[in-house]
Structure 1
Amino acid sequence: MNDLESRLSKMNLEILSMEEIGGAHAGNIYKVEALSENVNTREHYIYKEFAEGRDQEVEIHKNIEEIMTSFSRVVNVWETSPKAMLMWDLGYPVKSGFEALPIAEKKILISDILKVLASLHGMDTAQDKLPVHQLNTKWKDWCLDQLGKLSSRKSWSSPEWEITIQEVYERLDIPHYQTKCPSVITHGDPHLENVFYKDNEIWLIDWEWAAIGSPLRDVTIFMQDIYDDDLISYVPEYYLQCMRDRGIPLDNDDFRSDLSYLYIDHLTMMLAWEVEKYFQGHLTEKRIRGIIEWKIGEIERVRKELEKKGLNEWI
């Protein structure tokens, strides 16, 4: 780690200890304790060295640094190879203790996170500084590939899962859906592994997928780590109220339409990612089966709701 040592040395930081953080990451991540030579204090950081082809966050930070400062705790960014980022150590992600919380405490935490997302979505859009999010076939193709691999390895994998994904994308024509809500700055990946609670504040990491898009993009990704019917219903209603409280009215029909289509697309995305984590040994067989069954069930539920409301063109 000569690059890390050299970079911190130039910041007048002496490394006291360093530990690589394992897991399914897009790069190498290290927990670092360093001594600040300027004030002679110990500080704790996270150093992220980006994997090749996964360094978009460096450009994103350069383009919207003034916005990210309010929502993240980045200390330094290196644009030369190897591209990397130094952040304050925020402890453990919200996801690590979320499932153990009582429902009432989960609601409080969810509310706090949604307020932060609404605040982000209320910022000036900076249209020329971020890409524009568009639905496509990417997540469907990846998910079908992942489920196909799973089916070839595990007898309990159901071919009905792949059929469900294929049919809902074809019948709803999800890849060509045009979002209806006003475009805003979206974080792009605010699931609970990228959300931290530190110093009585909510912080967001991993801005790699930040883009201009429907606010429901973030809301439906945030919903991916929630496995409770009541909380799933609570999230969009509370978020809608947050936006209205900020003086940003969203048309109810547009809101519901974006919610449904983006939720299906992100259920599919996260289903594929969870299968990948299972392949890498980060999830048990029992857990991945439960996750798949829940997400497939949610996709079917939303599809039926769209049919019932007549929002699709194929009933």
Structure 2
Amino acid sequence: MKHLERRLVERKLKLLQMQTIEGAHAGNIYRIEVMDEDHRRSRYVYKEFAADRSNEVEIYSKAKEYIQPFSKYVDVWDTPPQAILMRDLQSPLKKEFKGLSDRNKRKQIVSILERLAVLHSSTIRLVANELPTHRVTSEWRDWCLDQLTRLRSRSQWMNSDWINVIKDSYDQLDVTHYNPRSPLVLTHGDPHLENIFILDEQVWFIDWEWTTVASPLRDITILVQDLYDSKWIQFVKATYHECLKNKQFHISDEDYRRDYHYLYIDHTTMMLAWEIEKYFQGYTMEEEIQRMIDFKIGELNRVREEELGL
């Protein structure tokens, strides 16, 4: 870790301890403890990006002024090995969310939605410049169908109707040609509960790799992917519209509903494929992946039927 030690020295910091953060990460992540010249100790997270997953470095360089108020990053290096240094935010919200009471779940969800509303409303007049614009394509549909086909060859419990639900959801609504109706804003692109932290009673986001200009509903339909309860998904959908209105960000009810439904189908399909991949890699147990698939397939059916008026 000579690169890390050299970079810390440049910031007049001495490395005291380092611990690898395990998980399915796009690169290597370490929790470190350092000491400054006044012998004060601090904790940071240092992430070295995989060679093919360093887009976050470029995103920071292009959108620093918009991202900084919502992120605890300290420094970014665009020379090899590309890396980022951020404050240690401790544990992601996902670890504790399931054990919260309904009252506290509601409180946390509202805090996240209000924070995202600030991000989205503050960038409504953002000129895209070199930032990419999010487009709905067939990418997640194709990946999910491939994953389900692989699953069918490996398991006895695979339900062939799951493949038909994916195809019907995209084909009957022509999802891959959908153009969002709401004003485009800067979106985080991956605000699931593993990327959200609460520190000092404030919401913070990490992993801005997938940041693009998009409908604000892009972030919301990714956020709900960790909520395996239709009650909370419906709560998020309704509450976020009110959060935007409170920020004088107006989207008609019809445009909001359509953006939500179409992006929800695409992102539910994306997350379904990713959850199956984590199962293949051994991160998810068989019983759990069955539960996840059943729930998300049910959600796809529900939204498809609602949008078609069935």
- The normalised TM-score by structure 1 is 0.96
- The alpha-carbon deviation at position 275 of structure 1 amounts to 1.0
- The alpha-carbon deviation at position 167 of structure 1 amounts to 2.0
1:204 partner amino acid? F
Give the structure 2 partner of residue 313 of structure 1. Answer: none
Give the structure 1 partner of residue 299 of structure 2. Answer: 298
For residues 41-92 of structure 1, what are the alpha-carbon distances to aligned partners after superposition, in whole Å with 9 as ceiling and x for unaligned? 1110101111111111101101111111100000110000111000000001
1:64–1:129 Cα contact (<8 Å) kept: no
1:191–1:221 Cα contact (<8 Å) kept: yes
What aligned pairs does 1:225-236 form with structure 2 within 5 A after superposition? 225-236=226-237
Which is further off, 70-79 or 13-22? 13-22
Give the structure 1 partner of residue 19 of structure 2. Answer: 19
The answer to whether 1:31 aligns with 2:31 is: yes
Give the structure 2 partner of residue 74 of structure 1. Answer: 73
Tell me how far apart the structure 2 counterparts of residues 69 and 183 of structure 1 sit (CA, whole Å): 20
Tell me how far apart the structure 2 counterparts of residues 145 and 4 of structure 1 sit (CA, whole Å): 39
Give the structure 1 partner of residue 88 of structure 2. Answer: 89
Q: SS at the partner of 1:127?
A: coil
1:35–1:43 Cα contact (<8 Å) kept: yes
1:13–1:36 Cα contact (<8 Å) kept: yes
What aligned pairs does 1:161-180 form with structure 2 within 5 A after superposition? 161-180=162-181
Q: SS at the partner of 1:48?
A: strand
Tell me how far apart the structure 1 counterparts of residues 17 and 279 of structure 2 sit (CA, whole Å): 31
Tell me how far apart the structure 1 counterparts of residues 99 and 54 of structure 2 sit (CA, whole Å): 34
Tell me how far apart the structure 1 counterparts of residues 72 and 85 of structure 2 sit (CA, whole Å): 9
- The alpha-carbon deviation at position 25 of structure 1 amounts to 0.7
Give the structure 1 partner of residue 263 of structure 2. Answer: 262
Q: SS at the partner of 2:293?
A: helix
Tell me how far apart the structure 2 counterparts of residues 151 and 16 of structure 1 sit (CA, whole Å): 49
In structure 2, list runs of 5 or more residues that go unmatched. Answer: none
Which is further off, 294-303 or 140-149? 140-149
Tell me how far apart the structure 2 counterparts of residues 100 and 277 of structure 1 sit (CA, whole Å): 23
- The alpha-carbon deviation at position 249 of structure 1 amounts to 1.2
1:18–1:31 Cα contact (<8 Å) kept: yes
What aligned pairs does 1:39-118 form with structure 2 within 5 A after superposition? 39-118=38-117
Q: SS at the partner of 1:85?
A: strand
Q: What is the number of equivalent residue pairs in this alignment?
A: 308
What aligned pairs does 1:170-249 form with structure 2 within 5 A after superposition? 170-249=171-250
Give the structure 1 partner of residue 141 of structure 2. Answer: 140
1:130–1:212 Cα contact (<8 Å) kept: yes
- The alpha-carbon deviation at position 284 of structure 1 amounts to 1.1
Tell me how far apart the structure 1 counterparts of residues 255 and 183 of structure 2 sit (CA, whole Å): 9
Tell me how far apart the structure 1 counterparts of residues 75 and 127 of structure 2 sit (CA, whole Å): 22
1:184 partner amino acid? V
Q: CA RMSD in A?
A: 1.0
Q: SS at the partner of 1:69?
A: helix
1:267–1:299 Cα contact (<8 Å) kept: yes
Tell me how far apart the structure 2 counterparts of residues 73 and 129 of structure 1 sit (CA, whole Å): 23
1:175 partner amino acid? T
Q: SS at the partner of 2:70?
A: coil
Give the structure 2 partner of residue 127 of structure 1. Answer: 128
1:35–1:41 Cα contact (<8 Å) kept: yes
Q: SS at the partner of 1:70?
A: helix
Tell me how far apart the structure 2 counterparts of residues 126 and 10 of structure 1 sit (CA, whole Å): 34
Q: SS at the partner of 1:250?
A: coil
Tell me how far apart the structure 2 counterparts of residues 21 and 120 of structure 1 sit (CA, whole Å): 28
1:257 partner amino acid? R
Identical aligned residues as a percent: 47
Give the structure 2 partner of residue 7 of structure 1. Answer: 7
1:164–1:296 Cα contact (<8 Å) kept: yes
1:174 partner amino acid? V
Tell me how far apart the structure 2 counterparts of residues 74 and 106 of structure 1 sit (CA, whole Å): 26
Tell me how far apart the structure 2 counterparts of residues 5 and 241 of structure 1 sit (CA, whole Å): 47
- The alpha-carbon deviation at position 126 of structure 1 amounts to 3.2
Q: SS at the partner of 2:45?
A: strand
Moved segments of 4+, more than 3 Å: none
2:108 partner amino acid? L
Tell me how far apart the structure 1 counterparts of residues 3 and 277 of structure 2 sit (CA, whole Å): 30
Tell me how far apart the structure 2 counterparts of residues 280 and 36 of structure 1 sit (CA, whole Å): 40
